[in-house]
Structure 1
């Protein structure tokens, strides 16, 4: 039976050698198929990162400058305000952008009702050393009214309307718009 095993082994080897991919003596170039190739992220039905626009109003040379940031999804009014309060990114700072908010205005939160953003402002701390409240309030108004769901901004402290300075230096408790700070805003 050893002869029979040898015949079976040789026959099996011959059959297996005839199957599969032939080998080449040298490497040959392969042209990859055309992409892009779908990935889990690109086939996901959610909004891709950076597809939503967010306008933040920062400062350059004591002027309000609207800056476009790309975000994963449209932020809530609370998130939008928080992004503004965080100040410019390193890249934005390198581009000469700053903020008057640190030390001038401490916004504790915001809500929107009937296209009016209501921003709660805390009592300023002692020795804040800032005199640019007009720019700080202007940054908030400019930023929040860049949203589709906000037409005006009102500031509150302890549940009551807060008198805030406008670009002309006058104080007002009424709802504010970009127009109140237009002389300070760099045109887009």
Structure 2
């Protein structure tokens, strides 16, 4: 009989010794409420093994910002992160965006190294004077990926001309070099 009691006693002692208290009823575990409401903008404390380069604006120039992520984002996620705007920490460093919000871009697809950015109808009539910076942010951000060699803008599937720093319009695939005059040094 002692042989049968010994394993049962050992099981009870091991369970009691693991630090988990024994309770008669299940208990509700309260999860703390977050101190801030999520805004869609990434956390300033985000970290991870992968990096994304976003181009934001400071004093009328494009500025590259590195963010760390758990995995390299695809072009749609990269553009989504750009459209979410600067984090609070980035804003504290004087960074902003010329992109007016999430409805600026309908979609992005990658085909043979070219990112095709579909814009919603009517976006060209914004009346904004910082359109060159807005397109520069998108082009420089997307071409920061190794697999994106150029960016073409479309509306309803047709290529549209977008402004360049020299006030011309281009329908050709654009690269960061096309906006080099706007990129801040350091």
TM over 0.5: yes
Classify the secondary structure of the residue corresponding to 2:100: helix
Structure 2 unaligned regions, length at least 5: 1-46
Partner Cα separation in structure 2 for residue 75 and residue 89 of structure 1: 17
Counterpart for residue 186 of structure 1: 184
Runs of 4+ that moved beyond 4 A: 125-129
Partner Cα separation in structure 1 for residue 136 and residue 129 of structure 2: 13
Counterpart for residue 19 of structure 1: none
Partner Cα separation in structure 2 for residue 82 and residue 109 of structure 1: 10
Counterpart for residue 161 of structure 2: 163
**Paired residues of 1:106 and 1:124 also in contact (CA < 8 A):** no
Counterpart for residue 108 of structure 2: 110
- What TM-score, normalized to structure 1? 0.70
Report how far residue 140 of structure 1 moved.
0.2
Report how far residue 128 of structure 1 moved.
4.5
The alignment covers a number of residue pairs equal to: 140
Counterpart for residue 57 of structure 1: 55
Classify the secondary structure of the residue corresponding to 1:131: coil
- What TM-score, normalized to structure 2? 0.71
Counterpart for residue 70 of structure 2: 72
Report how far residue 131 of structure 1 moved.
1.6
Aligned-pair RMSD on alpha carbons? Answer: 2.0
Classify the secondary structure of the residue corresponding to 1:176: coil
Structure-2 change in CA distance of 1:122 and 1:113 (3 Å): same
Q: Find the structure with the greater CA-based Rg.
A: 1
Structure 1 unaligned regions, length at least 5: 1-48
Superposition pairs of residues 15-164 of structure 1, within 5 angstroms: 50-102=48-100, 106-124=104-122, 128=126, 130-164=128-162
